[in-house]
Amino acid sequence: MAERIEAVTIDLWDTMIADQTDEPKREARGLRGKTDEHRHLIHRALVRHGAIPPDVVAAAYDVTGAVFKKVWHDHHVTWTMAERLKVLLAGLGRELPGDEFDGLVMRLETMELDVPPDAVPGIADALAALHESYKLCVVSDALVTPGRVLRELLGHYGLDRFFSAFVFSDEVGCSKPDPRMFHLAAERLGVDLGAMVHVGDREDTDIKGAHAVGMKAVLFTAVRRTDESTTGADAVCRRAADLPEVVDRLAGAQAARARLC
């Protein structure tokens, strides 16, 4: 028998927060882009302890980033910023004193809060409406910014108050579509996976990941539309304002099937 939909899990990047919308704001303020600022901060930390060309640091940063993406994509693991920095330093044959290393990691991890990227238009109202009928949980990969800082970012827009639980990949030790991400959300909400809907913008991680554990899935395309034409999602949502109705339709269809069983 089909279960009644009781909970919704929601991706963060390009579902609630529009990735890279901070870059034009940084440029307008005369700030470096985040990637360039990362390279600059790492070079500045290293050069205190010995000369090293900035282009060598930049190359090491880019290689480390490529390896990180490979591990994330193929093995569903997101290294923490500390782990990434250790790999970068090892590649350069360099070290930093413990306090300087920790301070640099903290600075890199919190940069997203300096000039916050925009909330997706209409998402606050959508979450408020969903919150009236369903338990909500964030299920999101943390590729650069860790979960503890992403909670602050959600709080900056007043979005954190709608959620009963949070599942971030850096805290779990794996990333979507690893089933553990969704199982942990179900455990924290106290809801069976079959009674849950996941909302996200990526087919491989959000839609296939949710389907693999028996959840329903909504592809959200207000920001990122890459997977819209080939998705296997149960529904597609193109505007945040439509999200409560889309989830309610899925819940209604689920309830109708349950009555027929």
Which DSSP letter does residue 204 get?
I
| Whole-number Å distance between alpha carbons of 13 and 84 | 20
Instruction: Based on the fold, state whether residues 141 and 253 are members of the same structural domain.
Output: yes
What integer is the mean pLDDT of 95-122? Answer: 97
Residue 68 lies in a domain: yes
Give the per-residue pLDDT at 252.
86
Residue 14 lies in a domain: yes
Give the per-residue pLDDT at 2.
55
Higher-confidence position of 259 and 217: 217
Instruction: Based on the fold, state whether residues 177 and 250 are members of the same structural domain.
Output: yes
Instruction: Based on the fold, state whether residues 132 and 239 are members of the same structural domain.
Output: yes
pLDDT tens digits, one per residue of 153-166:
999 999 999 999 99
What integer is the mean pLDDT of 202-208? Answer: 97
Residue 153: HSE in the Cβ half-sphere, 13 Å Cα cutoff:
27
Instruction: Based on the fold, state whether residues 135 and 101 are members of the same structural domain.
Output: no
Band (pLDDT 50/70/90 cuts) for residue 170 is very high
pLDDT tens digits, one per residue of 142-154:
989 999 999 999 9
Residue 194 lies in a domain: yes
Give the per-residue pLDDT at 186.
98
pTM over 0.85: yes
Instruction: Based on the fold, state whether residues 122 and 103 are members of the same structural domain.
Output: no
Instruction: Based on the fold, state whether residues 37 and 77 are members of the same structural domain.
Output: yes
Boundary of a domain, candidates 113, 134, 158: 113
Instruction: Based on the fold, state whether residues 44 and 72 are members of the same structural domain.
Output: yes
> How many domains are there within the chain?
2
Give the per-residue pLDDT at 37.
98
Is the model's pLDDT at 1 over the cut of 60? no
Range name among 22-26, 77-81, 85-89, 126-130 with the lowest pLDDT average: 77-81
Torsion over CA: 223, 226, 227, 230 (sign): positive
Band (pLDDT 50/70/90 cuts) for residue 57 is very high
Share of the chain above pLDDT 90, in %: 93
The parent domain of residue 154 ranges over 7-19+118-260
Instruction: Based on the fold, state whether residues 200 and 245 are members of the same structural domain.
Output: yes
| Whole-number Å distance between alpha carbons of 93 and 46 | 11
Instruction: Based on the fold, state whether residues 182 and 158 are members of the same structural domain.
Output: yes
| Whole-number Å distance between alpha carbons of 152 and 150 | 5
Is the model's pLDDT at 188 over the cut of 50? yes
pLDDT tens digits, one per residue of 226-259:
999 999 999 999 999 999 999 999 998 655 444 4
pLDDT tens digits, one per residue of 4-47:
899 999 999 999 999 999 999 999 999 999 999 999 999 999 99
Residue 1 lies in a domain: no
Residue 108 lies in a domain: yes
Residues 163-187 as b/e (b if ≥16 CB within 10 A, e otherwise) read bbbbbbbbebebbbbbbbbbebbbe
What integer is the mean pLDDT of 184-200? Answer: 98
Give the per-residue pLDDT at 260.
37
Instruction: Please choose, from the candidates 255, 190, 187, the residue with its C-alpha nearest in 3D space to the C-alpha of residue 216.
Output: 255
